[in-house]
Amino acid sequence: MLPYPGIPYDHPPGICYPLTEACMYLLFILCCVHAYKKGTGSIMYLLGGLGFGLLLEYVNVAANVGYRYGQFGVMLGSAPRNIPLCIGTGWAIIIYTARLVTDALGMPVWAAAALDALLAVNIDLSMDVVAYRLHMWHWDWESRGPQYNVLTSQWFGIPYGNFYGWLCVVFYYSLFARLLEKISIRKPPVRTLWRMATPLISILVSQAALWLSLFTIADWLKQFGITTAHRLVALLLLFTFMAITGFTKRKITSASNAALPLVTWLVPTWFHLYFFSWFFIAGFYRENAWMTVCAVANLLLGAFIHWLLWIQLKRSAAPVMEVAGT
């Protein structure tokens, strides 16, 4: 018997879930090591991303009986509304490494948060279509009516609201954390406590902003016929404009360095290649030619974005080196 009606795919091979978990935990450990070396602020930002990710998933599963997770090795809560720990670590490492890139670029706060969100959603576009078909998580299209198809509705079975949510989550957490970090505190003990508390405050403020975006504002916009798809496109265009504009105003400082930390390459590379590999191993490419085209295009887009960022970081580092040598 298939896991879910309408999805013609059986349970994935037994190695799939343990391998996914192991890789996410390993990447999280590597990010923890890097953040620990950077200091209290970095490690708390990473752990805040973990806490925020778990909180988001708990609220999502608790509020929507049709959304559920497959059973991984380490689950938090009671089935069927339990959530995998590795999903929280996934949120954390994506948010953390995206910020490492934008920090190195020296972009203004608002633009950096926008680019963080775009880098994250690029990964999600590669991941969700495949993970959904591997039954790692499931959206209950079946209960929404006969007009919906579990494999073709919206983005190949993935609700547009999922990607809209990704953009909002990463943007808000990145933005509020950066703004709070700018508050200057002179006394060392108080400054350390503030750095430790900043992620928690960011989570609370982000959660409130997220609620307004996903419910209050969304319900108001529906009166004018503005759907989730419209909001997603608008936010993608807005964040792209913000990122490009902010990139032109970036500040080249001694912190700019062409050699980004290894984790900034490992995390997006693993997500893109791992799920792209399962896309073909599990035979999903046979389902829909357009889905295959989009999967390849998104992989190439991710590679192009990171190559472009690498080139720009090399160019940014050159003037700094010249100034240092004068």
pTM for the model? 0.93
Check if the beta carbon of residue 136 is closer than 8 Å to that of residue 20. Answer: yes
**pLDDT value for 324:** 43
pLDDT of residue 254: 52
Please say whether the dihedral angle defined by the alpha carbons of residues 19, 274, 269 and 241, taken in this order, is positive or negative. Answer: negative
Most distant CA pair in the chain: distance in Å? Answer: 72
Written as one letter, the residue type at 271 is: F
Residue among 87, 114, 119, 86 nearest 172 (CA): 114
Domain-wise residue ranges, the chain = 18-176+208-250+258-312
Task: Look up residue 144 and give its amino acid.
Answer: R
State residue 322's pLDDT score.
46
Asked if 265 contacts 306 with a C-beta cutoff of 8 angstroms, the reply is yes
Q: Percentage of residues in the chain with pLDDT exceeding 90?
A: 70
* Per-residue pLDDT tens digits for 16-67: 999 999 999 999 999 999 999 999 889 999 999 999 999 999 888 887 756 8
Closest CA to 276 of 308, 298, 246: 298
What is the pLDDT confidence band of residue 321, given thresholds at 50, 70 and 90? very low
pLDDT tens digits, 160-192: 999 999 999 999 999 999 999 988 887 878 878
* 105-142 per-position pLDDT tens digit: 889 999 999 999 999 999 999 899 999 999 999 988 87
Cβ atoms 244, 110 nearer than 8 A: no
Per the CB < 8 A criterion, the answer to whether 101 and 120 are in contact is no
- What pLDDT band is residue 318 in, cutting at 50, 70 and 90? low
- Three-state DSSP class for residue 84: strand
